[in-house]
Amino acid sequence: MRTIKTDFLIFGGGIAGLWLLNRLRAAGFSVLLLEQDRLGGHETLNANGIIHGGLKFGLAAMLRDIEDLDDMPALWRACIAGTGDLDLSGVRVLAEHQYIWSEANLAARATTFFASRLITGQVRPVDGADRPAALHNPGFEGRVYRLSDLVIDIPSLVSSLISKHKSCIYKVSPQNCHLETDDRHNTTAVFITAAGLEPIRIHPTNVVLAGGQGNAALLEDIGLREPAMERRTVHMVMLKRPNLPMLHAHCLGASRNPRLTITAHPTRDGEMIWYLGGELADEGAGRDERMQIEKAQRELKELLPWVDIRGARFKTLKIDRILPAGDRGLLRPDNAYVQAIGNNILTWPCKLTLAPNLGRQVLAHLEKEGIKPEHEQPAEALPLLFPEIGQPIWDILFT
């Protein structure tokens, strides 16, 4: 049996696992990452790429302290510039800014809400030709504000995060992987067996559970049923039509979530899709595909009647967003979730934009506990496959 020692073993190749792989290796730790399917994961690959500071939550943001979220766009911009926690200079930025537009009957309330943010430069009103093309129409009567938030291309993010670390990322089926633990829930060894291969025993000093939905099974493997995991299902809508205008914007509603969120994403065939979320997606979890598409069509006709969507092709996607159960405040989390259990670190980023917060929390925990690098990065590659890099769902459905 081949035996490997490593400072960290990470389970999961979504945003949480890949971000921590980069941060831990940059800090001098030896790391191996195991992924059971495709790199990027279901939730990360199908995210809309919005890096926001909380203002997209609309008028209800006034009721909460969102300073931690306020920091996120600047932290991501520093990474993309190559000067932040990670070097993400290879990440493609789809939009340097997002927009919020209000319906006419909410214009006055929107002005009051954003007045306190104007002085910080986080938001500014835009009029006339400065508006996005989709909102530059004589029939538009609301207000438009430009946010300092950005939108990134997820496939380029995944590619950037794995580019320097392919030698320590492996594909492992859960059926071929067994965790050995002690009575204090420390993971003492991980055994990997596969037909025709010499068994592998990994002795990790620390383990990171970053498997998203898979964390429930990993917790059970180390003898725990808590903390419980909660799935919050959203039902996203995609539409594809030639010459759709570029738009990354939220329609301001009276509730916590935007009434409608629109982001535009390039497809492999050189065209573009609109990805629709917000209340449409949150409240659409119980609708079937036909009903959800009809609802999306009604929303677009009411909010953007001058945008021609005749002949557009529509698809939908249900995504389970993973949160720790029991804390209703985490439905709109301001921080990633990190909990140490023995030598295991349980993580849920809760949303893409909080990945830098996740990395900083984990590094702060290691510093507090005095955990330092002990082992060299394994020099010889393991006899395991490298996982495929996943594709966004629109590149699969619109083929």
Six-digit token pair at 130?
């400065």
Q: What is the percentage of the chain residues whose pLDDT exceeds 90?
A: 64
Coil, strand or helix: which one is 86?
Answer: coil
Is a pLDDT exceeding 80 seen at residue 333? no
Look up residue 385 and give its DSSP letter.
P
Is a pLDDT exceeding 50 seen at residue 119? no
Six-digit token pair at 208?
């990171």
Which CATH fold would you assign to the domain 2-45+158-229+326-392? FAD/NAD(P)-binding domain (3.50.50)
What per-residue confidence (pLDDT) applies to 171? 96
pLDDT in tens, 64-108: 444 467 788 999 999 999 999 999 999 999 999 999 888 767 665
Query: Rounded distance, CA 376 to CA 308, Å?
Result: 58
Which of 312-322 are b and which e, b meaning 16 or more Cβ less than 10 Å from the residue's Cβ? bebbbbebbbb
96-150+231-324 has which CATH code?
Answer: 3.30.9.10
pLDDT in tens, 260-311: 999 999 998 889 999 999 999 999 999 999 999 999 999 999 999 999 999 9
Q: What is the mean pLDDT of residues 162-175?
A: 94
Alpha helices, H only, 176-270: 215-221
Per-domain residue ranges of the chain: 2-45+158-229+326-392, 96-150+231-324
Q: What is the pTM of this model?
A: 0.92
Query: Rounded distance, CA 192 to CA 210, Å?
Result: 18
Residue ranges of E strands in the chain? 2-11, 31-35, 50-51, 93-95, 98-102, 123-126, 144-147, 150-152, 169-171, 177-181, 187-192, 200-209, 229-240, 249-252, 260-266, 272-277, 313-324, 337-341, 344-348
Query: Rounded distance, CA 10 to CA 13, Å?
Result: 8
Give how far Cα 303 sits from Cα of 22, 78, 103, 182, 368, Å. 42, 35, 8, 58, 51
Six-digit token pair at 230?
């909660």
* Nearest alpha carbon to residue 251 among 153, 104, 51: 104
Burial class (CB in 10 A: 0-12, 13-18, 19+), 225: exposed
